[in-house]
Amino acid sequence: MKSSILTLSLCFLVLCCSKEGLPTQAPLEGENGITASYKADAVEHLALSSDSTLKLMSIETNAMNVDGTSKSWLFMYCRTLSPFRGYYFTATLDSIIFDSISTRVPVGSAFISQTWVNSSIAAQIAESMGGKTFRSSNPDCSITADLGEPVVPNPAVSWWIMYRSITDATKYQSFTFDARTMPTK
């Protein structure tokens, strides 16, 4: 336990990562930020180095850009053994930071056990499903994105993307779709 806490404490230091071995599907970086997969492998390596029983449970951002990038992504890893603990890591273009530990149990969530399309592809899908139309009617909107796998019969890893007007919270539109889905041309 002490070694896990020590390892996680060291994670508060900025950890720069190489781009080698990252998931495919254009793990983008740019002035707008990074896609969800950009540092996914490095975050997993850091999480497992602190506790080998951890598994990915969710990835989220509250500020996704139309191209699927964000300034930061929050990765939640949870213990597969009791007592339940959630470990949160924030990934940015320049760093991965251990964020916190929580004993909050995410109701209805399972470990992500399937491969998933990157946030750049998820953004394209959400835009084609009506996000672009919503943005044209609500130019002040913000976009949130969550990747997770529900605990239901025949679960599938899913993206949930919400467009919400910043000035009128009653105006929003959300899209949930299978994150294993590749767009058709």
Split at pLDDT 50, 70, 90, the class of 25 is very low
Answer for the pair 120, 67: CB distance below 8 angstroms, yes or no. yes
Query: What's the whole-number average pLDDT of the chain?
Result: 80
With left for phi above 0 and alpha for psi between -120 and 50, is residue 82 left, alpha or beta?
A: beta
Split at pLDDT 50, 70, 90, the class of 100 is confident
Instruction: Please tell me the predicted confidence (pLDDT) of residue 150.
Output: 83
Instruction: Please tell me the predicted confidence (pLDDT) of residue 101.
Output: 78
Q: Tell me which H or E stretch contains 175.
A: strand 172-178
Which of 165, 160, 164, 185 lies closest to 175 in space, CA to CA?
160
User: What percentage of the chain reaches a pLDDT higher than 70?
Assistant: 75
